Amino acid sequence: MSKSTATAAPPPSELARVRRVPRRGTYDREVIHAILDDGLVAHVGFSDGGRAIVIPMFYARAGDEVLLHGSSASRLMTLAASGAPLCIAVTAIDGLVLARSAFHHSMNYRSVVVFAAAREIVDPAAKAAALDVFVERLVPGRADEARRANAQELRATRVVAIPLAEASAKIRTGGPIDDAEDLAWPCWAGVIPLTLVAGTPAPDAGIGPDVRIPDTRRRAAARPG
């Protein structure tokens, strides 16, 4: 989906309203979904005993929710399952923006911030289906290739779903925005694009030549622009 197709969806709350450079903000659900579908890591913020904590996590989107999974014993997952307030940030870096002045250096990015309380997915079938979503995020089709979690592994894993009702996206695109008096400054200016690409698969020990290599191009093809 083009980044310019955002509709004028209103902010879902005052907390989620982009105030700083609001023209870069959008609350369009399709844009938010596309940014989430392009990423793999969410930074999950919560409060523990009055301290602000941020923990990076693998996440997956399912419909209008973000799924997190982790050890049933983990502090973060226990707190999330209790319905504590969370804040999640997902960021994609698209380029380094080099301006003529140090002040106007920047980055091109797409980011999402979500405020929510999670609900725990306890039904074993729903939990197993949610875990499939995680494996599919790595390489589409992988859930049917790998051994699925057994009952003991399911018990050891907590899965929570976080609604996207209170979410914002912020997107920067384009080149540097230099001041007019700097345009003749004699240094290079422009954008250095950055992308995340899969390398050559490195087989684990014991993988014979007849075992099919996952097609990581499927993952690339499944990623939105």
Kindly list the residues in this chain that would bind ligand FAD in the complex (CB under 6 A): 15-20, 91, 93, 107, 109, 111-113, 168-170
Q: Which two tokens stand for residue 84?
A: 């504590």
Of residues 19 and 147, the one with the C-beta less far from ligand FAD:
19
Cα→Cα distances 142→87, 113, 155, Å: 30, 29, 22
Of residues 35 and 131, the one with the C-beta less far from ligand FAD:
35
Least distance between ligand FAD and beta carbon 9 (Å): 13
Of residues 112 and 131, the one with the C-beta less far from ligand FAD:
112
Least distance between ligand FAD and beta carbon 156 (Å): 33
What 3-state class would DSSP assign to 42?
strand
Least distance between ligand FAD and beta carbon 6 (Å): 13
Of residues 127 and 170, the one with the C-beta less far from ligand FAD:
170
List of residues 6+ apart from 34 with CB closer than 8 A: 1, 224, 225
DSSP 133-186: HHHHHHSTTGGGTSPPP-HHHHHTEEEEEEE-SEEEEEEE-SS----GGGTT-S
Least distance between ligand FAD and beta carbon 168 (Å): 4
Of residues 43 and 219, the one with the C-beta less far from ligand FAD:
43
162 neighbors 84 (Cβ within 8 angstroms): no
Number of H helices, E strands in the chain: 5, 10
Q: CA torsion angle for 34, 117, 127, 59 (degrees, to 10)? A: 40
Amino acid residing at 70: G
Least distance between ligand FAD and beta carbon 35 (Å): 9
Least distance between ligand FAD and beta carbon 91 (Å): 5
Q: Which two tokens stand for residue 22?
A: 């609001």
Of residues 35 and 80, the one with the C-beta less far from ligand FAD:
35
